[in-house]
Amino acid sequence: MTVEESRLDILDDEWERALAIVAHPDDLEYGASSAVARWTSEGRHVAYVLATRGEAGLGNVSPSKAAVIREEEQRRSASVVGVEQVTFLDHVDGAIEYGLPLRRDLAREIRRHSPELILTLNRHETWGGPTFNMADHRHVGLAVLDAARDAANRWVFPELLDEGLEPWGGVRLVCFSGSPSAHHGVDVTGFLDVGIASLKAHQAYVEHVGTDPDSWLREAAETAGRLLGTEHGVALEVVRL
């Protein structure tokens, strides 16, 4: 495919409220947080929901200790890009199961936050190359799509009505970062350094995996930017509901 054939369209910006839902601390910071930084700077409301606390992500550090470290790092990271609301759902890191409990939990958060746009991570089997995408990412991404519809239907998970959560059918866009099927993007020129800082806030995790936040995110942003016709960009797959 040529560059011209693969050009990205600018994402619709006719919305005010977004909810980012991912499996682990750091999932948003590998690129998408630069877009979040732009959105919050424009006065849009963005909240985060994490399915796990990332407790299996620090190697030999026990899950109980890792969960505390990674939750603190995620909250600091979110604050870097202007996000104050961060919720953890306590599913098991590395063992998230797609199914009704996950869909219910996500539908609950969608009703609570009433977003017009949901941001999540790649749900496909690969990232567009030979590396297989882990089950947590795939299961959460698929559940986000289903939960966005579940949240709008009062007869799906009626127990949420007993919690005082009325149906919310206002989700128009579900956006997937890191997707090999990206056809849209966000111009993050001027916000890349903030996005890099948000990944660096995951200090323990970055040191464990050996990522160089600056070079990794800069290369990805420059690649997406070329396809957008901007200096820096974030590429997104968009599903319209």
pLDDT in tens, 78-103: 999 999 999 999 999 999 999 999 99
Cα diameter, the chain: 53
For the residues 41-47, what does the mean pLDDT come to? 98
Q: How far apart are CA 116 and CA 180, in angstroms?
A: 23
The label of the residue with tokens 């977003």 reads: 115
Q: What is the pLDDT of residue 1?
A: 35
Rounded to 10 deg, the angle between the 192-200 and 33-41 helix axes is 120
Task: Please give the domain boundaries of the chain with CATH numbers for all domains.
Answer: 9-240 (3.40.50.10320)
pLDDT over 80 (residue 4): no
Task: Tell me the pLDDT band of 160, cut-offs 50, 70 and 90.
Answer: very high
Q: What is the pLDDT of residue 3?
A: 41
Q: How far apart are CA 25 and CA 58, in angstroms?
A: 11
Q: What is the pLDDT of residue 108?
A: 98
Share of the chain above pLDDT 90, in %: 97
Q: What is the pLDDT of residue 241?
A: 92
β-sheet with 173-177: strand ranges across: 9-10, 184-187, 233-240, 173-177, 117-121, 17-22, 45-50, 86-88
Q: What is the pLDDT of residue 36?
A: 98
Q: How far apart are CA 162 and CA 115, in angstroms?
A: 21
User: Contact 151/98 with Cβ under 8 angstroms?
Assistant: no
Closest CA to 136 of 175, 86, 98, 104: 98
3-state secondary structure of 3: coil
For the residues 49-62, what does the mean pLDDT come to? 97
Q: What is the pLDDT of residue 65?
A: 98
Report CA 223 to chain centroid distance, whole Å: 19
Quick: pLDDT tens for 11-29: 999 999 999 999 999 999 9
Amino acid letter, residue 170: G
Q: What is the pLDDT of residue 157?
A: 98
Query: In sequence order, what E strands does 110-228 have?
Result: 117-121, 173-177, 184-187
User: Contact 232/179 with Cβ under 8 angstroms?
Assistant: no
Quick: pLDDT tens for 176-227: 999 999 999 999 999 999 999 999 999 999 999 998 999 999 999 999 999 9
Task: Tell me the pLDDT band of 5, cut-offs 50, 70 and 90.
Answer: very low
Q: How far apart are CA 112 and CA 109, in angstroms?
A: 5
Share of the chain above pLDDT 70, in %: 98
User: Contact 197/79 with Cβ under 8 angstroms?
Assistant: no
Q: What is the pLDDT of residue 154?
A: 98
Q: What is the pLDDT of residue 2?
A: 39
| Token duo for residue 144 | 């986000």
Provide the residue count of the chain.
241
3-state secondary structure of 42: coil
